[in-house]
Structure 1
């Protein structure tokens, strides 16, 4: 077998394992000591399609964001028909996606609906859609409702993450996540992950200058610039998971300490809270008085304090003392607003220095 034939069979085996881009093929070739240029890869993919791939398979190329091509092998006459359950699953996904995604990706969702029309009779699909409109709803409470160039910001962040490219964050508006007061913009930024949290789509990454974790809601980004400066994201991906595990939610902690936290909930509220996910370390214990004790190990931040107030008198901090003091302090501030009829001013007392 010639060297080219061996190479074609190796590329074919790689395609069988999943979709690839030229960049992915180049990385694969480097790891497997295959000497080949990007131009040769294009020729090999053409030859594969016309000589190697069996009759029951086909090589499909799709063009995605930033004209990035992806090749994959599809099987002919091996498709399982979509069922009513499958169509209902799509309808659920469409209705329960964040409002920001639904609004900014309406054209893509329209294309998917068009594919359903081609696959099934129009009347059948319309029946399911009409059912969804009347019986499946999302309140979109706590989600953004005003979007300016949202799809462009999201697509640019995805492109930067996928291609491991630095972003320059030039202007950032307001503060979702208690960013340290010493962080000033513009900043060079290593984007790592798109993160959905409490109705907001965020981009998570690290400040280039000091490797500090920075999480921003996409609506916060007023002005930015893409770059072609690449970075190695291998260590940052792991660091992101480690740093987030130290937080309650995604808000920056007030200090670098990790605390053993205990919060007692009344029976009914505890029964609800214990069935939800809040933190990787959470544990619940039912007490003799039928209340619930929640235990977790994480930092203290604005998000945790606000969450405790969310349950009003159905939650009580047991430990640590610093958390009890912060809750009482914030409660006293709020009571004084009414007792003294004081004016309100912007106040993020949990913002770290």
Structure 2
């Protein structure tokens, strides 16, 4: 480590103390790779204290003191930022396009401006001159406009973070009427341009999904639900193909070798296994529910895919093709 000036040392000392830990001068010396003497560090600490920094000094032994900051001072300590960290923030912003025109977008913009205020001058000038906000864009066809669900999204965030029980009024497409039920919100999920809620149904002892754009009304109660149902994301998605769930079946698909590069490097399902036949065609095997989303995905590859098993999936696709032929009057 190159020799540091006193001001550089003191800034680094403040950053170390901002963690809230009590630190001895010996520990500080180790943080400086033993390149700074104990006497120098002790002088630095006294200089900080004399300058009005609220340092608390407690004696451990005859030759050792411990130092820490008063709690109210920690928020004023600047945190150094590097360009890659700033770029990472801009890239994360681009992936929040689904929350465009909501108060969350406004909050992210406020956060960005606060971060820009603590950027070193040379990084700030580079960031503004280079237009890093154009670094990444997120294109999602069919993305839902959630500007009209701003209040519901904010209530859900409160319910999730504070573990509050909710009463949901839901526009259920399956029963074509409003449905009311209690929920224990767990997590928000972004999928294919849509925002969904993962919530716990205590009567069923299961986690379910709701489309947020179908929530008509949300009432958040003061009642805190018990934290007795740990959410296992791996188990939740294990037998799903996309969002839909159901009884898992052993699926086997054969993809023509001409499109295997579109398939074999992607993650489709937690149970997927790939292999090849003698002609170089790609075989995909997985255990997942037979759902409209799975069938739609298979048909999307048209003649380049063939269902090998199970027979129930083959029959479902045959029935759908017959219906489509009638619709388009194909004999």
Q: Quick check: TM above 0.5?
A: yes
- 3-state SS of the aligned residue for 1:149? helix
Distance 2:201 2:178 in 1: 11
Within a 5 Å distance, the mapping from 1:144-155 to structure 2 comes to 144-145=144-145, 147-150=147-150, 152-155=151-154
In 1, Cα distance between the equivalents of 2:55 and 2:69?
11
Match of 1:260 in 2: 250
Match of 1:117 in 2: 116
Q: 1:125 to 1:132 in 2, by over 3 A?
A: same
Query: Aligned to 2:209, what secondary structure does the other structure show?
Result: strand
Cα separation, 1, equivalents of 2:197 and 2:316:
29
1:82 aligned partner: 82
Q: How far apart are 1:174 and its partner, in Å?
A: 5.4
Q: How many Å separate the matches in 2 of 1:173 and 1:182?
A: 7
- C-alpha distance after superposition, 1:246-294 (max 9, x if no partner): 22122132xxx32111111122322221111111101111222111100
Aligned equivalents of 1:191 and 1:334: distance in 2? 40
Instruction: Tell me which of 228, 238, 243 is aligned to 1:245.
Output: 238
Question: How far 1:59 sits from its partner (Å)?
Answer: 3.2
Name the CA distance, whole Å, in 1 between partners of 2:251 and 2:215.
Answer: 34
1:83-138 Cα distance to aligned partner (Å, 9 max, x none):
2x3332222222233x222432222222233124312445422223x2543x5332
Using the alignment, how far apart are the partners of 1:228 and 1:245 within structure 2? Answer: 33
Q: Which residue number in structure 1 is paired with residue 128 of structure 2?
A: 126
Q: 2:217 is paired with a residue of what secondary structure?
A: strand
Q: CA deviation at 1:337?
A: 1.4
In terms of fraction of residues, the more strand-rich structure is 2
Secondary structure of 2:198's counterpart equals strand
How many residues of Structure 1 are paired with residues of Structure 2 in the alignment?
271
TM-score by length of 2: 0.71
SS in 1 for 2:285: strand
TM-superposed CA distance for 1:218, in Å, is 1.3
Rounded to whole Å, the distance in 2 between the matches of 1:213 and 1:117 is: 40
Q: Distance in 2 between matches of 1:249 and 1:309?
A: 15
Alignment of 1:87-236 (within 5 A): 87-97=86-96, 99-104=97-102, 105-118=104-117, 119-121=119-121, 122-128=124-130, 130-133=131-134, 136-145=136-145, 147-150=147-150, 152-170=151-169, 172-173=170-171, 175=173, 185-235=179-229
SS at match of 1:308: helix
In structure 2, distance between residues paired with 1:60 and 1:300: 57
Q: Which is bigger in relative contact order (C-alpha 8 A, separation at least 6)?
A: 1
Two-structure CA RMSD over aligned residues (Å): 3.3
Q: CA deviation at 1:302?
A: 1.5
Query: 1:58 touches 1:76 (CA, 8 Å); kept in 2?
Result: no
User: Where has structure 1 moved over 4 Å in runs of 4 or more?
Assistant: 49-58, 73-77, 181-184
In the alignment, the residues of structure 2 paired with residue 55 and residue 201 of structure 1 have an alpha-carbon distance, to the nearest angstrom, of 47
C-alpha separation between the residues in 1 aligned to 2:105 and 2:282? 44
- Describe how 1:34-45 pairs up with structure 2 within 5 A: none
Rounded to whole Å, the distance in 2 between the matches of 1:60 and 1:302 is: 56
TM-score (norm: length of structure 1): 0.67
